[in-house]
Amino acid sequence: MADHTLDAKGLKCPLPILRTKKVLKDLPLGKTLEVLATDAGSVADMRAFCQVTGNELVESGETAGVYRFLLRRAG
Amino acid sequence: MSDAAGKIDANTKSMTIIVTKGSLDWAYPPFILGTTAAAMGVKVEMFFTFYGLALLLKKLDLQVSPLGNPAMKMPMMGMHMGLPNLMAAIPGVEAAATVMMKDLIKRKGVASIEELRDAAVESEMTLIGCQMTMDLFEYKVEDLIPGIQVGGAATYLGKALKSDLNLFI
């Protein structure tokens, strides 16, 4: 179970990333955030976001059109 | 690079964007890239000049025009429909196109420019209004949203020369 879940379903670029950042910055170090999105572009975007910011992308997957990302706050 | 909390260290990347256009469609690229860069820990400075200055006005009244815009094809009745210039020039068409575009933006879950601009202000990026443009089009600092800076070409260049990425939109 993630420490926090963000529902970004129905949102288009760049909102899933902006919302993710907003929640992540208030999350203590080492805690995890689950992001749910329907934006197909968020797969590549979330990977790039984590690469640049140093947060860890623990899991990434898709079920029935919903993309699920598990991030761990780092840095 | 900064961490997720937005702490800035010596390795923080920086970016500038010159924003020259103030129509609804052209307002998207600078605000999307600016807010996303800020979310990724980049120090962002946006310089609003000429028609781009309209994006800093307190009350946004952005329009999109199909006139001279052949790539503007709206999804309608299972097709993509554009308007020939002769029809696009008819009074009222631009307003109707703007209403349609705003409706489409809302229905598809795309952020409004108001929302992205709020995000830009919240992320504490530097927003600079061009003084020459303000003088030219007769705008006062009070007409613009609070918290912005005012400057000219040298102000921009001073920042751009030290930045990792500079965009002109």
d(CA A43, CA B12): 25
User: Which of A10, A17, A73 has the CB atom closest to B39's CB atom?
Assistant: A17
Tens of each residue's pLDDT in chain B, 169 residues: 444 444 556 689 999 999 999 999 999 999 999 999 999 999 999 999 999 999 999 999 999 999 999 999 999 899 999 998 998 999 999 999 999 999 999 999 999 999 999 999 999 899 999 999 999 999 999 999 999 999 999 999 999 999 999 999 9
Cβ of A14 and B108 within 8 Å?
A: no
Q: Cα dist. A50→A42, B25, B39 in Å?
A: 12, 29, 11
Q: Answer whether B3 sits within 8 Å of A54, measured CB to CB.
A: yes
pTM of the predicted model as reported, rounded to 2 decimal places: 0.91
Copy the structure tokens of residue B141.
């600092």
Within 8 A of B3 by CB-CB distance, chain A residues are 53-54, 74-75
Which residues of chain B does A74 touch, with a Cβ-Cβ cutoff of 8 Å? 3-4
- Residues of chain A in contact with residue B105, where contact means CB-CB under 8 angstroms, are none
CA dihedral B7→B57→B154→B28, nearest 10 degrees, is 60
Domains and CATH numbers, chain B: 14-168 (3.40.1260.10)
Q: Is A13 a catalytic residue?
A: yes
Choice among A3, A7, A12, A13 that is catalytic: A13
Q: Contact A12/B110, CB-based, under 8 Å?
A: yes
Buried b (16+ CB within 10 A) or exposed e, B152-164: eeebbeebbeebe
Q: What is the ipTM of this complex?
A: 0.91
Question: Cβ separation of A12 and B108 shorter than 8 Å?
Answer: yes
Interface contact B119, partner A, CB < 8 A: yes
